[in-house]
Structure 1
Amino acid sequence: MWSNQAQEPMTPQKLLQLTGHSPETSVEEVELDYLFRNCAQEKEWHDEIQKQNVQKYQSLVKTLKDNLIDIQVYRIDTISIDVYIVGKTSSGDLAGISTKVVET
C-alpha cells in the first residue's frame, strides 16, 4: 500500500517510480477482466482441481472489485513481466497486489 499517493492519478510513470523500475521500462495497461480472462472462467474440459482454481481467481477478482475503486492493471517489461493491480481504497490510499508472469 502506498499512503497518500491517490491524490494524483496513477500513471505508468508514477508506478515505475513507486516500484523502483527504470523510467525507460516498457509498461502495458490492461483491464482487470482481461488479465484474468483465461484463469477465472470455467471451461468444460477443466478437471476438479482446475475448477477449484477458477473459483479462487473469481474470488480474488471479486475481492479486488469490492475493495478498490479505479482499478488499473500494469504489466511491466516483457517475457518476465511484473504485474501490478492497483486501485484506490476508501481512505484515499493506493493498494493492490503484484505478481510475476512469464510469457514465451
Structure 2
Amino acid sequence: PHHHFQAKHRTSASVNQQGHLRQHPRMAENAVTDLVPFCTTGPPLNQEQVIALSDVAGSLKELMLLALGAAANDTGCVNKVECAIGRAKAFDIVQFFAEEWEID
C-alpha cells in the first residue's frame, strides 16, 4: 500500500491595503496538536486522546507540568491525566516527561 504524507502547515491569507496577498501561518494551535500525540513512551495518541488531554491541559507547558506533578505523586495531577485518557496512556505520558532528556 502507498502512504501519502501531507505537510500540516496551514496558512491563512489576507490582502493588505496595497492589494498584496499576505500569508499568516497558523502555528500555535497546530503546533500543540501536532506535538502532543508524540509526548508518550508508547504508541502515538489518537485524536480523541489529544482532545481529552487538551480539556485538562490547555498548552504543552500545562501538560508537562501536569505530568511532572503526577510523576511526583500529586494525586490531583494523577487523577486529571488518568481520567482524561486512562491509566496506561497516562503512565506513558508521565514517563515521557519524567525521563531525563539529553541532546548531544
Same fold (TM over 0.5): no
- TM-score, scaled relative to structure 2: 0.24
More helix by share: 2
Larger radius of gyration: 2
More strand by share: 1
